[in-house]
């Protein structure tokens, strides 16, 4: 987008790229079809209407149009860096958690095996004790 493009012209360009007809736009915005071409020469468009165009075009027109203009450009760039750093931190944390989960699964498996062995030994010992007690009663 050129710096001198008006918002309406920018919007018209986006609509043409998506090949959306004036009739579809009119129905979506709840305006007459004749009113649609009158939007494009405008320098400014209400944020409510621009939001509706964002939905219709399935695109963030706010960032697309205003994102290259200061001070929003600096704000968005700063926000982007913060978010990228947070994503990296969360990916690292996720990897650490996955490693911990694998370790705990292994520990659980080992402990489960140990418990089964001890249960079997206990059953054997209980059987032997019962046998000794039974023999003593005789």
Q: Which two tokens stand for residue 94?
A: 């996720």
The DSSP letter of residue 67 is T
Label residue 5 by pLDDT band (50, 70, 90): low
pLDDT digits (tens, 9 = 90+) for 76-125: 677 788 899 999 999 999 999 999 999 999 999 999 999 999 999 999 99
Label residue 4 by pLDDT band (50, 70, 90): very low
Start-to-end CA span in the chain (Å): 102
**Class (C level, CATH) for 7-69:** mainly alpha
* Rounded CA separation 44/22 (Å): 19
Q: Considering the chain, what percentage of its residues have pLDDT values greater than 70?
A: 93
Give the residue extent of every domain in the chain: 7-69, 83-138
* Rounded CA separation 21/12 (Å): 11
Distances in Å between the alpha carbon of 39 and those of 18, 22, 51, 90? 17, 11, 14, 43
The DSSP letter of residue 62 is H
- CB–CB of 11/59 below 8 Å? no
pLDDT digits (tens, 9 = 90+) for 22-49: 999 999 999 999 999 999 888 778 889 9
């Amino acid at each position: 987008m050129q710096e001198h493009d008006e918002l309406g012209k920018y919007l018209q360009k986006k609509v043409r790229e998506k090949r959306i007809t004036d009739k579809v736009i009119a129905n979506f915005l709840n305006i007459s079809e004749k009113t649609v071409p009158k939007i494009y020469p405008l320098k400014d468009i209400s944020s409510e209407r621009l939001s509706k165009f964002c939905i219709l075009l399935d695109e963030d027109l706010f960032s697309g149009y205003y994102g290259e203009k200061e001070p929003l450009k600096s704000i968005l760039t700063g926000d982007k860096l913060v978010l990228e750093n947070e994503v990296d931190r969360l990916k690292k944390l996720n990897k650490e958690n996955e490693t911990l989960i694998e370790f705990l699964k292994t520990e659980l498996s080992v402990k489960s095996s140990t418990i089964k062995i001890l249960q079997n030994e206990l059953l054997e010992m209980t059987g032997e004790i019962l046998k000794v007690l039974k023999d003593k009663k005789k």
